[in-house]
């Protein structure tokens, strides 16, 4: 069964016709963000007869074909084998780029490989004469959120923790600056999407993120386990909304102007566990590993006012529906672990 979501609606905020006949280069196409971007694009390609193409730059086209065969075989998609962390690909026709790839590793490898990949991508953007480059950054660029700030806006002047623990946030900050400087020098628009936390298709259920593990436990009939004390605040945007936001930022965002991408409706991790249990496995037990810690609870929640006021974006899938859709999608694909 093809688990793809509903076709794009005419009420979509994305100006899809602006992509008619356009050539897009996407990195990170096999990840959560990339797959949701491709899902949205292929549906719009069929619905609006866009007659363009996405070229997905990947180190392993065979792995992508195995992970998402209905996407890899779509006529709107072209797989291009390459590794930006090693070399800049040869020039090819391209109107816009989306850079969502991330090479993992220890803090030093993380910085070196990903900054090299960003530099190579920006050089390729210059060679190809692209108009716009979208970079999927992160809320980690702000550093720890002060507990007295309910939501962080894009003008917050914080910074990641210095040292190895802050490598990811520093990488994203440095990549934003590289892109802005390259866009200024070479004349293309550089768009910044600071991404937060998500649910939806292509989410890996068993990893370090609480929301996916809660869903996996519920689907497996296991106790829903909160590893910490359950006090931290998070918020979750569904993958369909994520894709619409990113495509809209690519096409309508301002050069060098960052936009938070996420939900501004906070929920405590313990309450998320309870919500997941109530929706998916009412008889399951919720276990919280630790007693409440001292001091204010950590927060990781964005303000989305800029995206709402400037680009007309909103979260159209509520949290309960996002949990249910994530569970259904993974169940249909047999991905419950």
Predicted pLDDT of residue 3: 43
Over its length of 337 residues, how does the chain's per-residue pLDDT go in tens digits?
Answer: 344 444 444 478 899 999 999 999 999 999 999 999 999 999 999 999 999 999 999 988 998 999 899 999 999 999 999 888 887 777 778 999 999 999 898 999 999 999 999 999 999 999 999 999 999 999 999 999 998 999 999 999 888 888 899 999 999 999 999 999 999 999 999 999 999 999 999 998 988 789 999 999 999 999 999 999 999 999 999 999 999 999 999 999 999 999 999 999 999 999 999 999 999 999 999 999 999 989 999 999 999 999 999 999 999 999 999 999 999 999 988 765 5
CA geometry: angle 169, 174, 176, nearest 5 deg? 95
Please write down the long-range contacts of 185-188, taking CB distance under 8 Å and 24 or more positions apart: 186/122, 186/125, 186/126, 188/125, 188/126, 188/129, 188/130, 188/131, 188/132, 188/133
How many CB atoms within 10 Å of residue 61?
A: 17
Predicted pLDDT of residue 293: 87
């Amino acid at each position: 069964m093809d688990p793809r979501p509903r076709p794009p609606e005419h009420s979509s905020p994305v100006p899809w016709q602006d992509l008619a006949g356009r050539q897009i280069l996407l990195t990170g196409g096999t990840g959560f963000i990339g797959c949701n971007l491709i899902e949205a694009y292929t549906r719009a390609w069929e619905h609006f007869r866009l007659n363009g193409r996405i070229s997905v730059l990947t180190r392993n086209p065979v792995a992508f074909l195995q992970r998402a065969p209905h996407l890899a075989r779509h006529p709107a998609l072209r797989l291009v084998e390459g590794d930006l962390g090693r070399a800049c690909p040869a020039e090819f026709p391209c109107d816009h780029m989306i850079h969502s790839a991330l090479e993992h590793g220890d803090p030093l490898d993380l910085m070196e490989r990903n900054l090299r990949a960003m530099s190579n991508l920006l050089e390729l953007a210059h060679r190809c004469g692209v108009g716009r480059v979208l970079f999927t950054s992160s809320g980690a660029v702000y550093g720890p959120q002060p507990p007295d700030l309910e939501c962080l806006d894009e003008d917050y002047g914080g910074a990641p923790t210095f040292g190895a623990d802050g490598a990811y946030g520093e990488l994203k900050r440095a990549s934003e600056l590289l892109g802005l400087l390259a866009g200024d020098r070479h004349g293309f628009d550089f768009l910044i999407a600071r991404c937060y936390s998500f649910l939806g298709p292509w989410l890996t259920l068993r990893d370090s993120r609480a929301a996916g593990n809660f869903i996996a436990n519920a689907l497996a009939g296991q106790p829903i386990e909160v590893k910490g004390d359950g006090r931290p605040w998070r918020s979750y945007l569904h993958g369909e909304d994520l894709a619409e936001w990113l495509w809209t930022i690519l096409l309508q965002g301002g050069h060098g102007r960052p936009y938070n991408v996420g939900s501004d409706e906070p929920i405590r991790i313990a309450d998320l566990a309870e919500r997941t249990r109530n929706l998916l496995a009412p008889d399951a037990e919720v276990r919280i590993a630790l007693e409440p810690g001292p001091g204010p609870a950590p927060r990781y929640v964005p303000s989305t006012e800029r995206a709402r006021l400037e680009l007309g974006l909103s979260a159209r899938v509520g949290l309960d529906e996002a949990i249910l859709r994530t569970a259904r999608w993974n169940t249909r694909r047999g991905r419950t672990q």
